[in-house]
């Protein structure tokens, strides 16, 4: 009850001072001096109001912090789960891309071998005067010698899921890491700066003493 009375009194004083400020006329040396005194009075009342509300704000802030701490007890396991699953999905996506790249490499090699064999056969046919038969060998593209049925079908990504390139940076020989690299100071070894350099170079970067591994970050929209 006492606080309510004090609060009401402070509010009335503040409203009164505002009204007085509206009515105050400063047109002489004396009124100018009164203006200065008026400002001092306003400042003192402002301090009193701040002191009055300070304990309330402190109590409210403590309550807010307590609520945030309780909230974190609920959200922390979810945040940890989010990181765990995103990392696993990123690792899987990276491995699938590596597997596909290896399949594509082998496919290109086998297609090159098949094309060379086809060219050799065509040359042999031309050598014995069968130019038309040689030309017919190239009427259709060289078929992929890999059995497409054995190609692993890439899983369909869930809706709202995408992946972006990221990089893991690891020091393997700190003493050999250069002080400067592409205009940046990276010693003492600054892994965050090196990671930014790797991203800027789209992974096409090599720093002595540093291992840079391309990874995939899972993004949920």
Residues 47-88 pLDDT 10s: 999 999 999 999 999 999 999 999 999 999 999 999 899 889
Which is more confident, 159 or 161?
Answer: 161
Last residue of some domain: 82, 114, 135?
82
Average pLDDT over residues 192-216: 88
H-only helix segments in the chain:
2-23, 29-127, 131-136, 191-200
Confirm if 169 and 191 have CB atoms less than 8 A apart: yes
pLDDT band at 30 (very low <50, low <70, confident <90, very high): very high
d(CA 165, CA 84): 17
Listed residues 82, 103, 122: the one ending a domain = 82
Position 118 in a domain: no
Structural domain includes residue 151: no
What local confidence, expressed as pLDDT, does residue 156 receive? 58
Q: Quick check: is 63 in a domain? A: yes
What is the pLDDT of the chain when averaged over all its residues?
Answer: 84
Q: What residues contact 163, with CB distance under 8 A and at least 6 apart?
A: 89, 90, 93, 157, 216, 217, 218, 219
| 215 against 42, higher pLDDT | 42
pLDDT the model gives residue 112: 84
Residue 1, pLDDT above cutoff 80:
no
Query: Is 211 within the bounds of a domain?
Result: yes
Q: What pLDDT digit, counting tens, does each position of 125-150 carry?
A: 777 877 777 777 665 544 444 344 44
Kindly state whether residue 109 falls inside one of the protein's structural domains. no
β-strand partners of 169: 212
Domain hosting 68: range is 2-82
Whether residue 67 is contained in a domain is answered as: yes
| Total number of domains constituting the chain | 2
Residues in the chain: 221
Residues 6+ apart with CB under 8 A from 31: 24, 25
Residue 44: inside a domain: yes
Q: With 0.95 as the threshold, say if the pTM is over it.
A: no
Indicate whether 95 belongs to any domain: no
Of 29, 51, 82, which one is at a domain's C-terminal end? 82
Q: How confident is the model at residue 13 (pLDDT cuts 50, 70, 90)?
A: very high
């Amino acid at each position: 009850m006492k606080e309510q009375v004090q609060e009401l009194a402070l509010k009335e004083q503040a409203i009164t001072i505002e009204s007085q400020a509206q009515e105050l006329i400063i047109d002489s040396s004396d009124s100018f001096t009164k203006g200065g005194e008026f400002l001092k009075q306003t400042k003192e009342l402002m301090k009193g109001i701040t002191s009055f509300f300070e304990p309330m704000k402190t109590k409210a802030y403590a309550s807010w912090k307590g609520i945030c701490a309780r909230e974190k007890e609920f959200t922390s396991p979810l945040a940890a789960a989010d990181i765990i699953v995103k990392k696993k999905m990123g690792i899987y996506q990276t491995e699938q891309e590596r597997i596909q790249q290896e399949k594509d490499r082998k496919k290109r090699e086998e297609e090159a071998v098949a094309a060379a064999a086809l060219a050799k056969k065509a040359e042999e046919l031309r050598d014995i005067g069968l130019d038309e038969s040689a030309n017919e060998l190239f009427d259709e593209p060289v078929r992929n010698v890999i059995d497409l049925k054995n190609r692993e079908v890439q899983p369909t990504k869930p809706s709202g899921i995408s992946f972006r390139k990221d990089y893991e940076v690891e020091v393997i020989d700190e003493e050999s890491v250069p002080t400067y690299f592409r205009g940046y100071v990276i010693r003492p070894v600054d892994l965050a700066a090196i990671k930014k350099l790797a991203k800027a170079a789209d992974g096409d970067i090599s720093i002595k003493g540093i291992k840079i591994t391309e990874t995939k970050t899972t993004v949920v929209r």
